């Protein structure tokens, strides 16, 4: 069953913290106890190899070497002195693995790190991959490990480094940072070649997902699906700066290892029956010229050539259709990007318009408040003016009365106090 796992947190994946930890422990136990063929049931008695060899293929700088440390960390919860001297300086200093190296995850599981495969579409690259899958390539040197006390040899079972080992599980590594722009045309041909050669489709691993943009990860995953990869795992890698992995990434890496175990056993079964079929065909007696006329053989060759040509045309048409589909996806993504930019500009304009509207509203409120204050001051002024007029009228009336009293000869002068203007 294909697994398309993404590095979701345990809440998004529907797993509680306890469930995730329990699943990690269960998968670690499966990985540690694994032996090739231990879980395989077939009608024939098949001789499985003692060890499983997983091959990593990918462009230079995609994170293959760091992925081995990450797998080791996921399998044991720590690096367990499994950090290569070469890996420690590769990504930091810009160096790259130039020769094949081999590392162990367990006593039975080995991972082979290759030099950068920068042109997987070329016939030479396919030939090199086939040679490695069949175990016709050796290794450059003994793997050295780094720990606090210096360097020491790995304590894994001895393997002959002068000869290669058949790779029963092929893993292609892609970087969500570095493998966005390169052209992947023809990658489906490599996937089909591996399927015919191994009987199983290769696994795709997308690294650097913890530091890449989500849209780049989605585009890369879509291209890989169109190219024929059914198993795609998104992982984060151990680095000098990042010495631990979150549990969701550990779970993804453990699921990746478990899938490699299944594919490794399936490939061994496929190779067994492939050898049986070849042996059966070789054991059949060949027909003599008297049993099979020459004209019939000539017609048969023409038919075979016609069938081969038809298959080539179909494969070419399929490749063209997939290239068009990828181009359409790129155009759709570009259209979405332009739409998002338009929406962003529209949003900014609306925000600016809203800000200006708010400022105008505040200015309007200030003007209205000032106008109301002026009106209140005008009413107060008019009130005081009216009051002064009334008081002036009262004073004139009193003066008139007093003058009238004096003219009549009254012998007294009344004292009249008017607020604000005492008159005697």
In this structure, the answer to whether residues 75 and 213 fall within a common structural domain is yes
Q: What is the pLDDT of residues 184-203, one digit of tens each?
A: 667 788 888 888 888 889 99
Assess if residue 323 is contained within a domain: yes
Assess if residue 171 is contained within a domain: yes
Q: Which domain holds residue 250?
A: 4-279
pLDDT of residue 414: 52
Asked if 236 and 7 touch (Cβ cutoff 8 Å), the reply is yes
Contacts of 184 (CB under 8 A, 6+ apart): 223, 227, 326
In this structure, the answer to whether residues 124 and 247 fall within a common structural domain is yes
Assess if residue 127 is contained within a domain: yes
Contacts of 385 (CB under 8 A, 6+ apart): none
Assess if residue 359 is contained within a domain: yes
CA distance 129 to 167: 10
In this structure, the answer to whether residues 275 and 350 fall within a common structural domain is no
Assess if residue 407 is contained within a domain: no
Assess if residue 239 is contained within a domain: yes
pLDDT of residue 113: 85
In this structure, the answer to whether residues 272 and 361 fall within a common structural domain is no
In this structure, the answer to whether residues 272 and 329 fall within a common structural domain is no
Assess if residue 74 is contained within a domain: yes
Residue of 107 and 122 predicted with greater confidence: 107
Q: Per-residue pLDDT for 325 more than 60? A: yes
Quick one: how far is CA 81 from the chain centroid?
28
Contacts of 158 (CB under 8 A, 6+ apart): none
pLDDT of residue 39: 85
CA distance 75 to 158: 21
Asked if 69 and 237 touch (Cβ cutoff 8 Å), the reply is yes
CA distance 72 to 104: 8
Asked if 80 and 306 touch (Cβ cutoff 8 Å), the reply is no
In this structure, the answer to whether residues 74 and 216 fall within a common structural domain is yes
In this structure, the answer to whether residues 324 and 266 fall within a common structural domain is no
Rounded average pLDDT over 213-218: 88
Residue of 325 and 302 predicted with greater confidence: 325
Q: What is the pLDDT of residues 245-295, one digit of tens each?
A: 888 889 999 999 999 999 999 999 998 888 888 888 888 765 554 555 544
Residue of 211 and 307 predicted with greater confidence: 211
In this structure, the answer to whether residues 66 and 16 fall within a common structural domain is yes
CATH number at residue 206: 3.40.50.300
For the beta carbon of residue 336, count every other beta carbon within 10 angstroms: 11
* pLDDT above 70 as % of the chain: 72
Residue after which a domain boundary falls, among 279, 309, 339: 279
pLDDT band for position 141 (50/70/90)? very low
Residue of 107 and 138 predicted with greater confidence: 107
Q: Per-residue pLDDT for 151 more than 50? A: no
Q: Per-residue pLDDT for 90 more than 60? A: no
Q: Which residues of 142-180 are buried (b: 16+ CB within 10 A; e: fewer)?
A: ebebbeeeeeeebebeebebeebbbbbbbbbbbbbbbbb
pLDDT band for position 140 (50/70/90)? low
Q: Per-residue pLDDT for 316 more than 90? A: no
**Maximum average pLDDT range among 40-44, 323-327, 355-359:** 355-359
CA distance 323 to 330: 11
Assess if residue 360 is contained within a domain: yes
**How many distinct structural domains can be found in the chain?**
2
pLDDT of residue 25: 92
In this structure, the answer to whether residues 372 and 223 fall within a common structural domain is no
In this structure, the answer to whether residues 205 and 330 fall within a common structural domain is no
Q: Supply the mean pLDDT for the chain.
A: 76
In this structure, the answer to whether residues 203 and 61 fall within a common structural domain is yes
In this structure, the answer to whether residues 231 and 352 fall within a common structural domain is no
């Amino acid at each position: 069953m294909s697994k398309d796992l993404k590095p979701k947190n345990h809440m998004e994946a529907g797993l509680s913290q306890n469930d995730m930890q329990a699943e990690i422990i269960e998968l670690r136990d499966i990985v540690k106890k694994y032996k090739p063929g231990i879980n395989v049931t077939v009608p024939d008695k098949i001789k499985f190899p003692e060890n499983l060899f997983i091959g990593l293929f990918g462009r230079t700088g995609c994170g293959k070497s760091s992925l081995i440390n990450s797998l080791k960390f996921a399998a044991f919860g720590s690096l367990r002195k499994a950090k290569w001297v070469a890996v420690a300086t590769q990504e930091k200093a810009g160096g790259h693995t130039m020769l094949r190296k081999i590392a162990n995850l367990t006593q039975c599981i080995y991972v082979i790190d290759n030099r950068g495969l920068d042109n997987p579409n070329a016939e030479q690259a396919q030939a090199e991959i086939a040679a490695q899958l069949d175990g016709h390539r050796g290794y450059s040197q003994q793997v050295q490990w780094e720990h606090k006390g210096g360097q020491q040899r790995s304590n894994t079972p001895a393997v002959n480094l002068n000869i290669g080992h058949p790779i029963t599980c092929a893993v292609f590594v892609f970087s969500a940072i570095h493998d966005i722009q390169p052209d992947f045309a023809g990658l489906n041909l490599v996937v089909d070649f591996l399927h015919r050669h191994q009987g199983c489709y290769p696994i795709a691993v997308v690294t650097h997902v913890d530091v890449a943009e989500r849209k780049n990860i989605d585009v890369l995953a879509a291209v890989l699906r169109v190219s024929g990869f059914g198993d795609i795992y998104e992982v984060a890698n151990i680095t000098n700066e990042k010495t631990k992995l979150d549990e969701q990434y550990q779970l993804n890496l453990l699921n990746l290892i478990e899938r490699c175990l299944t594919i490794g056993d399936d490939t061994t079964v496929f190779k067994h029956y492939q050898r049986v079929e070849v042996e059966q065909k070789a054991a059949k007696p060949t027909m003599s010229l008297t049993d099979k006329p020459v004209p019939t053989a000539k017609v048969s060759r023409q038919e075979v050539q016609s069938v081969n040509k038809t298959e080539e045309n179909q494969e070419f048409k399929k490749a063209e259709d997939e290239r068009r589909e990828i181009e359409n996806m790129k155009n759709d993504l570009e259209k979405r990007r332009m739409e998002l930019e338009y929406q962003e500009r529209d949003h900014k304009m609306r925000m600016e318009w809203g800000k200006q509207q708010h400022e105008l509203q505040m200015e309007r409120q200030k003007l209205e408040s000032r106008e109301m204050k002026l009106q209140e001051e005008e009413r107060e002024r008019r009130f005081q003016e009216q009051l002064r007029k009334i008081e002036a009228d009262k004073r004139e009336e009193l003066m008139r009365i007093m003058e009238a009293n004096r003219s009549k000869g009254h012998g007294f002068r009344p004292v009249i106090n008017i607020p604000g203007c005492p008159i005697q």
